[in-house]
Structure 1
Amino acid sequence: MKTKKLLLFTLFTSALFGCGTAPKEYESFEDYPTFTQPWDEMTYSETGTDFMLWAPTAEEVNVKLYTDGLTGNAIQTVPMKEAGNGSWRTSVTEDLKGKFYTFQIKINGKWLDETPGVMAKAVGVNGKRGAILNLDTTDPEGWSQDVRPALKGFDDIIIYEMHHRDFSIDSLSGIKNRGKYLALTETGTTSKEGQKTGIDHLKELGITHVHLLPSYDYASVDETQLDKPQYNWGYDPQNYNTPEGSYSTDPYTPETRIREFKQMVMALHQAGIRVIMDVVYNHTFNTEESNFERTVPGYFYRQNPDGTFANGSACGNETASEREMMRKYMVESVCYWANEYHIDGFRFDLMGIHDITTMEAIRSALDKIDPTIYIYGEGWAASSPAYPADSLAMKANTYRMPGVAAFSDEFRDGLRGSWNNDLEGAFVIGRPGHDTQVMFGITAALPHPQLKDSTLNTPASWTAQPTQMLSYTSCHDDHCITDRLKITAPKATDKELTAYHKLAHTAVFTSQGVPFIFTGDEIMRDKKGVRNSYNSPDSINAINWAGKAIHREAFDYLKGLIAMRKAHPAFHLGDTELIYKHLEFLDMEDNNVVAFRINGAPNGDTWKNITVILNSKNEPASIDVPQGTYQIVCKDGKINPEKGLGSVTGNKLTAAPRSALIVHQ
């Protein structure tokens, strides 16, 4: 086995360096020396700056110093010395504040291209050079008093996914710093129709967490050309541990992006909103030119048996989270964001590429900082990763990862239609055959006793606790819900589209999973039918804030659903056994109707025997209930959880066509 490993490793490094032997011949990547101390590549003080690089296969390593973050020649080249455990070190005993640096590594007689390292925490414009600064000077006023908003448990979470530019770039948003971090610090902003926008809009809606699409330094936007139209979601990592410069007001000054990111987080916290960061550790933007590959070639990526790079991400590479230093890298990176930037949660892109042990290590490390930091991700990969499936953080293995959640594509597809067929609708437009997918989502992907009947064709359960499932209808990826409804119900009137929209979100917010909203869905935003808008212009991606006045009815309905869920713990029981005890599906003879009762008053709820009917038929749907008087809070596309909508007495409840009925005793 060792001979085979050595052969494959030699083949791989030969392909990289055009030679027949591996640099500093290690038998396998597992034999590389490692270290346990904090991974700090640059440590600044006024009297000197220490540099450290983990490069176990290097023959020589230099640090190059610059006065400019992007252009000009090095003003000094400082050799580094081997310091054991694969690391190299040197110190420069002068005040280097304001300077920039790169590392250059020599392997098998060849100098690789320069890199800011893998752990750069401040960079110049476009992220090509690391920046030397005192991080303490980047803290905005009041930062030391910043605290995470209170959170009793994961079941209280309501997530709003947002792209910085989409949310605030509209010229009629009333926001000054459009498309920037600072947009989320402005209060009192309104649209020309007088509707609240920006952070006030989020407070009005009532969400608890903002999920920011990638905000680390990514490669696809040229920060020197921000006067030209550019757009990207940011799933193309370059420097994982410093904020993206294009969302700052000055990408040339390293302190600015850091300070403004912190100002944004603090403003959201002061508004009672926690901040989740989208992280993309599963692949890098490029491979041979990446910081990983310019530092320790081959190590940070998985390889195929022939020595080529594996590609489970469909982006040209997949990282090797199971290797000791890649795992250490991921753990330290998320902890750095949690500590330095006060981030409250992490969404892992293509989480199914990472191994279970690494996700468990991340959960454990974050628990020591704050156990209320939420972790979730995509429980799949773009294609099969080069690692055993039973050891990966795939959705099917979620139950094995306590404190880690995943998106439920079963619930999403059951509500609005399959990912694989854009033209195919599902439950909310009245297409039969999806009731059990909706029931599955209502129970948060748990093996609910009533769904174990094999004749129901229920999806396979994959959660151990309800907070491990994300309940949603759309996200940045694929069609937003309004576009999907327009495609699958092309003859629907605006009134019917609004009814479908309300019904879909009623299912999401009465699910025992964690609800998740895509930015703009609350005002029926569309993307003109574009499915994959990762680099589409603002005309496709930007939130049109005029839509809030046009679709105020949909906004108020969703706002009411959120208020109802937050006020009544029966809708988020947060415990598997409580769900089994209290949540009961009611027998329905018709297709396209899902009805359930939350029996009693669990978790001290002031409502008792809550009954929900989701009716996607074009005709009324009735169910038999125990004789009594029921208070109506949602009916005929209207919701009022505080004052109610009247009452009904008897032993039968009827939901109007294409709508939900919610009552309690």
Structure 2
Amino acid sequence: MIDITSYYEGRDLGCSYAPQGSLFKVWAPTASLVSLVLYKEAGHYNSQGLVTDHSNGHEIVMKKDESGVWSCYFSGDLKGLFYMYKTEFMDGTLHYAVDPYAKAVTANGARTAIVDLNSTNPVGWYEDSKPPLCHPTDSIIYELHVRDFSAHGDSGMCYKGKYKAFTEIGLKDAHGNALGIDHLAELGITHVHLLPVFDYKTVNELQVDSHDSSIPLYNWGYDPQNFNVPEGSYSSNANDPLIRIVEFKEMILAFHQKGIRVIMDVVYNHTFTVEDGPFEAFVPHYFYRTDEAGRISNGSGVGNEIASERPMVRKYIKDSVRYWAEEYHIDGFRFDLIGLTDTQTVKEITKELIEEVDQTLIFYGEPWTGGATPLIQQTLKGTQKGEQFALFNDHFRNAIKGDSDGWGRGFATGERGKELEVMMGVSGSIHDFTYCPAETINYVTVHDNLNLWDKVLTTEGLAQEAGLLNSGGGSFGHPLDYEGMKTSDPYKSVNKRNVFTSDTVRRTILANGIVLTSQGIPLFQAGDEMLRSKFGDHNSYRSGDHINAIRWDNKRRFRPVFDYYKGLIALRKSHSAFRLHTREQVEANVEVLQCSGNVVSYMLKNHANGDTWRNIIVIYNGNTEAVEVEVPLSLTGWNVAVNEYVAGTESLEIVYGDMLTIPKLSMMVLYEEKDAKPYPTRNIEIHYERPKGDYEGWNLWVWGKGMREHQVNFEGIKNGRAVAVISALPGARQIGYIIRLNDWEKKDVERDRYIDLGTGKGDLKIIVKSDVHQWRRTS
């Protein structure tokens, strides 16, 4: 392990620009000499989009202080120029390198650009107002890749694959369906989680709009190059260092104006390469974690891992996150493979930014690694307890859907015995790995692995029929991919006239329905609300637009599915019972009703979290047939807000009694209103006459629609007959009964008897003799 004790506390590393002069600072404690190299031009690019010769600049030797920082002040306005650092070491090695704290770069990050950041602020930037957020559990997160959003031909957007696509408003398809950012606003999400939008390595920004299918035009972006600069392939002109910054800010402003916050996917666990990465030219071997043999460790699975536990590495990460939050008004951060970032660093990031920058920022990450790591203090499930950040809940994910790429099933995909695991997730995992619901990110699928539609098709054995490709990591538009897609129909099994008749549709809605009605922070993948397919590509990180682009025509095709998602989101946003804050609230207000028979039902009770509804019941049926589910009896009846076809906040109907029929592969949400009046009862008075007046041990066994089978005892003797009273539910047309001795020792008669209630509203009087059934209405 490298032992460097020098540390710099200042927050002015990089270029501090002003019209009268600019200050340059870079930390390189082991370098023997560092020079600032200024250029008038961006450099000469070769056919691969690289600038390989940086020797023709104006070099200025910098001065080193005791903290290991080299600095140089240059008088005059340098705006529009470019620079590199030239580092030299005692062993004779020499490097020209981009500033690791670069705020702007030329195309493909070849050189650092000197810019006036004030000139990059779009109109309205200083008045930018973040949408309100009271608590992290108020968040509903939508994971999205910038290019996927607009790249397809039917997107309606002009700036395909660009930041500016999010500024295009008022777009509709031929059937009047909102497209683009208006679609997101209509859906009702609170946050969009953007896959990496910092400057990454694998896409040539100079050729990204080429029509040559052999050129890599696409990547998810988990290959960092310049951590503090927006990615240039999403700008309208990657050659202009200012444009990507301006358009990025325009995108943020557009989201905020639509009431949507922005979460940035950040990758501080590794870099694309080591030798050509952003750090090695300045402090060799310091920024990368090593094993006992001194070799660079590979906990990321891609060749290296950042040593976040080292003081100046920790500082770099903290400075970078703060910069995005302050300069770009970013509202939250998702940390890739956060298991490789030491917990102390994560704690300091969240604490300092929440206290010093924005108390409404949210932080979360993947609590795992991509391989073995020597890091001792890994940020895994449980380390987030009480620390104001959340972690992805893979326990809940697997319980709902099964494994990520294969045939493995979960509750929503046909596996029995997952009820308790689902209920644990529904309760915010407070008895699993969290201290409170705000510490869990609930989801079933995200960008990597099979997306939800393809996963469900796979578990149903329909992948081959649908023509799914069963591939991962496409080869940049290889012709075979196109040919495979020509014969693929992911929706072959769907009845287009009534999409809800499809079990695949019902399973996907049930899966995300569980997520959206559980305690914690829900997240789902862009396009789930339109049954998005990636044609079986389970790792589409470079597969291109033909696999990844969102097909907006699916909104028209599957509009009822979109409306269902929209309704569930409105329900969650309108009712605070679904957004509990503390474990004490969960323990006091979440009551489990059933966790068996592939059914999970529970009640949010007593105006949970100040909800306007008195009690709420949520039921999930993972069976392929309808089931009868017992619920607490409500004297006012239960209002149905969500059924198998419709979701929302309004009452669809009122159901009575303590037994409900839940259709197959569906969910139901019911509620009691605060000031509802008790429903009027209709009593059926049964007078039972036996020979010799022998009534000892005899009782009624009663059933009917909305009524569980139960025993009703005779209450007394009147006119020589035993009398019992049954309360009929509103709308009931028939009640069945059997007169029996004790617990089925004997029946009065062998056949079932029924009382026809008709359509009247008055009470009824029934006279029953042994094997004789007479009844008349009372006055």
TM beyond 0.5: yes
1:476 aligns with 2:447: yes
Matched residue, 2:556: 549
Q: 2:90 aligns with which of 102, 108, 118?
A: 108
SS of corresponding position for 1:376: strand
When residues 446 and 156 of structure 1 are mapped into structure 2, their CA distance, relative to the original with a 3 A threshold, is same
Question: Contact 2:423–2:595 (CA<8 Å) still a contact in 1?
Answer: no
Once residues 131 and 81 of structure 1 are traced to their aligned partners in structure 2, the CA distance between those partners, rounded to angstroms, is 21
Taking structure 1 as reference, are residues 49 and 603 closer, same or farther at Cα in structure 2, changes over 3 Å only?
same
Q: What is the alpha-carbon distance in structure 2 between the residues aligned to residue 313 and residue 39 of structure 1?
A: 30
Candidates 313, 322, 331, aligned match of 1:335: 322
Q: Does the CA contact (< 8 Å) of 1:48 and 1:91 recur in 2?
A: yes
Q: Is the 8 A contact 2:149 2:550 kept in 1?
A: yes
Shift, 1:438, TM fit: 1.1
Could you tell me how far apart the structure 1 residues matched to 2:33 and 2:152 are?
51
Please state if 1:637 is matched with 2:645.
yes
Matching residue within 511, 517, 520 for 1:510: 517
Q: Distance in 2 between matches of 1:602 and 1:509?
A: 17
- SS of the equivalent of 1:204 reads helix
Between the aligned partners of 2:631 and 2:514, the Cα distance in structure 1 is 20
CA distance in 1, matches of 2:644, 2:118: 55
The 2-side partners of 1:354 and 1:611 are apart by: 40
Counterpart CA distance in 1 for 2:296 and 2:561 is 47
Distance verdict in 2 for CA 1:396–1:443, change over 3 Å: same
**Separation in structure 2 between the aligned mates of residue 317 and residue 587 of structure 1, nearest angstrom:** 48
Normalised to the residue count of structure 1, the TM-score between the two structures is 0.91
1:40 deviation in Å? Answer: 2.3
Give distance in 2, aligned partners of 1:645 and 1:181: 40
Pick from 293, 308, 316: which aligns with 2:303?
Answer: 316
Q: 1:174·1:192 contact (CA, 8 Å) conserved in 2? A: no
Instruction: Output the CA distance in 2 between the equivalents of 1:626 and 1:181.
Output: 51
Q: 1:598 aligns with which of 581, 595, 604?
A: 604
Is it true that 1:617 corresponds to 2:623 in the alignment? yes
Superimposed CA distance per residue, residues 138-162 of structure 1 (whole angstroms, 9 cap, x where no aligned partner): 1111111112111111111000111
- Secondary structure of the 1:395 match is coil
Residue correspondences, number? 619
What is the CA distance between 1:561 and its match in structure 2? 0.3
Kindly state the Cα deviation for residue 403 of structure 1 after the two structures are TM-superposed. 0.8
Deviations, residues 592-615 of structure 1 (Å, cap 9, x unaligned): 111111111112212122111100
Separation in 1 of the partners of 2:78 and 2:326?
25
User: 1:563-585 CA distances to partner (integer Å, 9 max, x unpaired)?
Assistant: 00000111111221001001011
Give the equivalent residue in structure 1 for 2:739: none
Is 1:32–2:14 an aligned residue pair?
Answer: no
**2:237 alignment partner, one of 239, 250, 259:** 250
- What's the counterpart of residue 380 of structure 2? 394
Shift of 1:589: 4.5
Report if the CA contact (8 A) 1:127-1:238 is conserved.
Answer: yes
| Contact kept? 1:193, 1:546, Cα under 8 Å | no
Q: Contact 2:81–2:114 (CA<8 Å) still a contact in 1? A: yes
Residue of 144, 153, 176 corresponding to 1:162: 144
* CA deviation after TM superposition for structure 1 residue 622, in Å: 2.3
Structure 1's 599 and 486: CA in aligned 2 closer, same or farther, altered over 3 A?
same
Structure 2 counterpart of 1:58, one-letter code: A
Do residues 64 (structure 1) and 42 (structure 2) align?
no
| Preserved contact between residue 565 and residue 571 of structure 1 (Cα < 8 Å) | yes
What's 1:5 paired with?
A: none
- Structure number with higher helix proportion: 1
Secondary structure, in 3 states, of the residue corresponding to 1:114? strand
Match of 1:41 among 2, 10, 14: 14
Measured in 2, the distance between the counterparts of 1:55 and 1:85 equals: 9
- Whether contact under 8 Å (2:351, 2:388) holds in the other structure is no
What is the match of residue 73 of structure 2? 91
* In 2, Cα distance between equivalents of 1:56 and 1:407: 38
Say which SS state the counterpart of residue 8 (structure 2) adopts.
Answer: coil
Unaligned 5+ residue runs, structure 1?
A: 1-8, 10-27, 448-460
Q: Does 1:607 align with 2:613?
A: yes
Cα distance in 2 for residues equivalent to 1:140 and 1:463: 41
User: 1:119 and 1:588, CA in 2 relative to 1: closer, same or farther beyond 3 A?
Assistant: closer
CA shift, 1:192, in A, is 4.0
With 327-336 and 45-54 compared, the bigger mean Cα shift is at 45-54
- Which residue of structure 2 lines up, in the alignment, with residue 425 of structure 1? 409
Aligned partner letter, 1:65: L
State the match for 2:400 in structure 1: 415
Cα displacement string for residues 347-373 of structure 1 (whole angstroms, at most 9, x for unaligned residues): 000000011110111011211111110
Structure 2: which 5+ runs fail to align? 45-52, 463-491, 495-501, 673-779
Corresponding letter in the other structure for 1:561: L
- Which amino acid in the other structure matches residue 461 of structure 2? P
Secondary structure, counterpart of 2:238 in structure 1: coil
The 1-side partners of 2:147 and 2:254 are apart by 18
**Is the partner of 1:113 in helix, strand or coil?**
strand
Question: Does structure 2 conserve the Cα–Cα contact (< 8 Å) formed by 1:427 and 1:616?
Answer: yes
Corresponding letter in the other structure for 1:611: I
Deviation at 1:97, TM superposition (A): 1.4
1:377 aligns with 2:365: yes
Taking the aligned partners of 1:417 and 1:546, their CA distance within structure 2 comes to: 29
**Aligned counterparts, 1:347-358, within 5 A:** 347-358=334-345
Q: State the distance in 2 between where 1:595 and 1:70 align.
A: 64
Question: For 1:589 and 1:179, how far apart are their aligned partners in 2?
Answer: 47
Q: Which amino acid is the alignment partner of residue 32 of structure 1?
A: T
- Is the counterpart of residue 178 in structure 1 residue 166 in structure 2? no
CA contact under 8 A between 1:251 and 1:257: conserved in structure 2? yes
- The CA distance in 2 between the partners of 1:39 and 1:302, in whole Å, is 26
| Equivalent-residue separation in structure 1 for 2:312 and 2:590 (angstroms) | 45
Q: Distance in 1 between matches of 2:648 and 2:272?
A: 47
AA of the residue aligned to 2:80: G
Distance 2:448 2:594 in 1: 35
Higher strand content, 1 or 2 = 2
Amino acid at match of 2:69: S
Q: 1:485 aligns with which of 432, 442, 456?
A: 456
1:243 alignment partner AA:
P
SS at match of 1:500: helix
Aligned partner of residue 339 in structure 1, secondary structure:
helix
Task: Report runs of 4+ in structure 1 exceeding 6 Å deviation.
Answer: none
Partner of 1:560: 567
Query: Where do residues 9-24 of structure 1 align in structure 2 (5 Å cutoff)?
Result: 9=1
Query: Retained in 1: the 8 A contact 2:14–2:24?
Result: yes
- Tell me whether 1:359 sits opposite 2:349 in the alignment: no
**Contact 2:222-2:267 at 8 Å conserved across structures:** yes
Identical aligned pairs, as a percentage? 42
**Partner of residue 707, structure 2:** none
Q: Is residue 224 from structure 1 mapped to residue 231 from structure 2 by the alignment?
A: no
C-alpha separation in 2, matches of 1:433 and 1:624: 19
1:251-266 aligned within 5 A: 251-266=238-253
Residues 207 and 562 in structure 1, CA contact (< 8 A), matched pair in contact too:
yes
Match of residue 521, structure 1, among 528, 541, 562:
528
Q: Distance in 2 between matches of 1:493 and 1:616?
A: 20
Decide whether aligned partners of structure 1 residues 193 and 170 sit closer, same or farther in structure 2, where only a CA change above 3 A counts. Answer: farther
Give the equivalent residue in structure 2 for 1:406: 391
Distance 2:9 2:384 in 1: 28
Counterpart CA distance in 2 for 1:185 and 1:227 is 20
Letter in 1 for 2:153: S
Shift of 1:194: 3.1
**CA-to-partner distance for each residue in 1:523-553, whole Å, 9 max, x for gaps?**
0100000000000011100000011111111
**What amino acid maps onto 1:405 in structure 2?**
A
Larger Rg computed on CA atoms: 2
Distance 1:659 1:524 in 2: 16
The question of whether the paired residues in 1 share the 8 Å contact of 2:199 and 2:228 is answered with yes
**Cα drift, residue 647 of structure 1:** 0.8
Whether the 8 Å CA contact 1:588–1:623 is kept in 2: the answer is: no
Q: Report the counterpart of residue 496 of structure 1 in structure 2.
A: 503
Read off the aligned partner of 1:435 and give its amino acid letter: E
Name the structure, 1 or 2, with higher relative contact order (CA <8 Å, separation 6+): 1
Tell me the residue number matched to 1:276.
Answer: 263
CA RMSD of aligned residues (A): 1.4
